[in-house]
Amino acid sequence: MSQTQTEPEIRKGLVGVVADTTAISKVNPETNSLLYRGYPVQELAARCTFEEVAYLLWHGELPTPEQLSEMEEAGRSQRALAPEVRAAVDLVPTTAHPMDVLRTAVSVIGATDPAADDASPESSYAKSVRLLSQIPAVVAYDQRRRRGQELVEPRNDLGYVENFLYMTFGEVPADVVVDAFRVSLILYAEHSFNASTFTARVITSTLSDLYSAVVGAIGALKGPLHGGANEAVMHVFEEIGTAENAEGWLEQALAEKRKIMGFGHRVYKRGDSRVPTMKAALDTLVAHYDRPDLAELYDRLEAAMVERKNIRPNLDYPSGPAYHLMGFDTATFTPLFVAARITGWTAHIMEQLASNALIRPLSAYNGPDERHL
Ligand SMILES: CC(=O)SCCNC(=O)CCNC(=O)[C@H](O)C(C)(C)COP(=O)(O)OP(=O)(O)OC[C@H]1O[C@@H](n2cnc3c(N)ncnc32)[C@H](O)[C@@H]1OP(=O)(O)O
Ligand SMILES: O=C([O-])CC(=O)C(=O)O
């Protein structure tokens, strides 16, 4: 009797694999849309504070004024950089990437939390609020120490976004800057089973603690194929120099088989649903800082890439130059992504815990046949 052996189907990079359900966000490449808990992200960016969006991602509904102020109060009381976290940051040399500093700081925040291993929903939520509040203090302080500047203590009379900028720059910038930063954080907050979120879910699935899952997610986000691309976009802009070099630079880069940072996406093949909103925010910054040269370079490279490869920008493409115009150092861009995505990551960690199954795929062995010594 002959038996046909079916080869296992291997989906390298898990392309097209549906790994689980989620109620947190829906990415729909067909309609080019992104919903957080059912709400289009564009509407949230137009109408909500970042704190409201964080609450929505965590709880499934937008907060009432009372619920919001309760969450904000808990967050404000934890905004200052804890002394042991500051000491840990100071130990890391400034030759290290800010993502390495942030990863270390989150590890210390976890290691100094006596309830680190408490996986109850209440404790997970409290940790999520804690990380949301502490991460800006780390990011702002790290950029300042690299510039030889003193730490700026938080201001509790300010909202999250204003305070983040205040701790970074020592002043609250113009409304247009505050608003562009708010929009970027909302757009970066959540995006289903992207690589860093999936990393957090894999770690959580072993019943490890929330901080370990976030540390792993930070590591995954750092790579230039994921969050590290917003920083890489700025390096591309610097390499190109001025708009008239864009086409020539692209030809050469493609000839060298380079990946063009800020373009392409695993899920969206006809454009990233978040780009138009972030591009509009970038345009307001270009006008505010009077930098039409940057907008021209942006447009020329995008047009050339669409013409040559029919590949469109992802969110990192407008975010990189937007953060540059706001005054952030290029190496700080991906930590800003962490500050936003901590909301989505922790929402997914809580969702995974609520309905857990160990994540453990199979592999098809292709090494030598069995042999003996
Ligand atoms: C917020 C975010 O994390 S969004 C992603 C940020 N990352 C980047 O911007 C990095 C640059 N982009 C890329 O490397 C890719 O587009 C990714 C990693 C984002 C998606 O990759 P995948 O879904 O695996 O697409 P894949 O690599 O299969 O691309 C299909 C084809 O388009 C090409 N391609 C895709 N993106 C790019 C790019 N940015 N530059 C040049 N070619 C590209 C690939 O080389 C491939 O060509 P081939 O079929 O001739 O081999
Ligand atoms: O979804 C992805 O693969 C990457 C992305 O855009 C994100 O994480 O925001």
Residue 191, ligand 2, Cβ within 6 A: yes
Residue nearest atom 9 in ligand 1 by C-alpha distance: 262
* Residue 72, both tokens: 């904000």
By CB neighbour count within 10 A (0-12 exposed, 13-18 middle, 19+ buried), where does 25 fall?
buried
Of 237, 233, 213, 147, whose CA–CA distance to 348 is shortest? 213
- What's the gap in Å between 155 CA and the centre of ligand 1? 41
Mark out the alpha helices in the chain (DSSP H runs): 41-47, 50-59, 65-76, 83-91, 98-111, 121-146, 160-169, 175-188, 195-205, 210-222, 229-240, 246-255, 275-289, 292-309, 316-326, 333-354
Domain formed by 228-325, architecture: Orthogonal Bundle (1.10)
Mean pLDDT of 90-97: 98
Digit-coded pLDDT (tens) for 295-315: 999 999 999 999 999 999 999
Digit-coded pLDDT (tens) for 334-360: 999 999 999 999 999 999 999 999 999
Residue 295, ligand 2, Cβ within 6 A: no
CATH 3.90.1640.10 at 25-222+334-355, yes or no: no
Band (pLDDT 50/70/90 cuts) for residue 126 is very high
Q: In ligand 2, which atom is closest to the CA atom of 266?
A: 3
Q: Are 53 and 60 in contact (CB under 8 A)?
A: no
The residue ranking higher by pLDDT, 336 or 270, is 336
Residues with CB under 6 A from ligand 1: 13, 224-227, 229, 259-266, 309, 311, 314-316
Mean pLDDT of 119-133: 98
Positive or negative torsion for Cα 349, 356, 44, 184? positive
Residue nearest atom 30 in ligand 1 by C-alpha distance: 264
**Which secondary structure element, helix H or strand E, spans residue 37, and what is its range?**
none
Dist CA 311 CA 88 (whole Å)? 42
The reported pLDDT for the residue numbered 43 is: 97
Digit-coded pLDDT (tens) for 147-167: 999 999 999 999 999 999 999
The residue ranking higher by pLDDT, 120 or 6, is 120
Q: In ligand 1, which atom is closest to the CA atom of 317?
A: 9
Q: In ligand 2, which atom is closest to the CA atom of 27?
A: 1
Kindly provide the b/e burial profile for residues 215-240, where b requires at least 16 CB atoms within 10 angstroms of the residue's own CB.
bbbbebbbebebbbbbbbbbebbeeb
Q: In ligand 1, which atom is closest to the CA atom of 221?
A: 3
- What's the gap in Å between 269 CA and the centre of ligand 1? 10
- Break the chain into its structural domains and give their ranges: 25-222+334-355, 228-325
- What's the gap in Å between 187 CA and the centre of ligand 2? 11
Q: In ligand 1, which atom is closest to the CA atom of 233?
A: 9
Which ligand minimizes its atom distance to the CA of 305? 1
Query: Three-state DSSP class for 34?
Result: strand
The reported pLDDT for the residue numbered 6 is: 78
Dist CA 357 CA 201 (whole Å)? 10
Mean pLDDT of 139-143: 98
Catalytic residues: 265, 316
Which ligand minimizes its atom distance to the CA of 348? 2
- What's the gap in Å between 300 CA and the centre of ligand 2? 24
Flag the least confident range among 143-147, 171-175, 270-274: 270-274
Predicted ipTM beyond 0.95? yes
* Order of strands, sheet of 33-36, starting from the edge strand that comes earlier in the sequence: 25-28, 33-36, 39-40
Instruction: Give me the chain's average pLDDT, please.
Output: 97
Task: Kindly tell me if the per-residue pLDDT of 17 is higher than 60.
Answer: yes
The reported pLDDT for the residue numbered 2 is: 45
The reported pLDDT for the residue numbered 1 is: 39
By CB neighbour count within 10 A (0-12 exposed, 13-18 middle, 19+ buried), where does 118 fall?
middle
Dist CA 273 CA 163 (whole Å)? 28
The reported pLDDT for the residue numbered 4 is: 59
The reported pLDDT for the residue numbered 85 is: 98
Dist CA 87 CA 103 (whole Å)? 14
Residue 266, ligand 2, Cβ within 6 A: yes
Residue nearest atom 3 in ligand 2 by C-alpha distance: 194
Query: Which among 36, 185, 267 is the best mutation to test ligand 2's pocket, defined by most ligand atoms within 8 Å of the CB?
Result: 267
Whether 25-222+334-355 shares its CATH topology with 228-325 is answered no
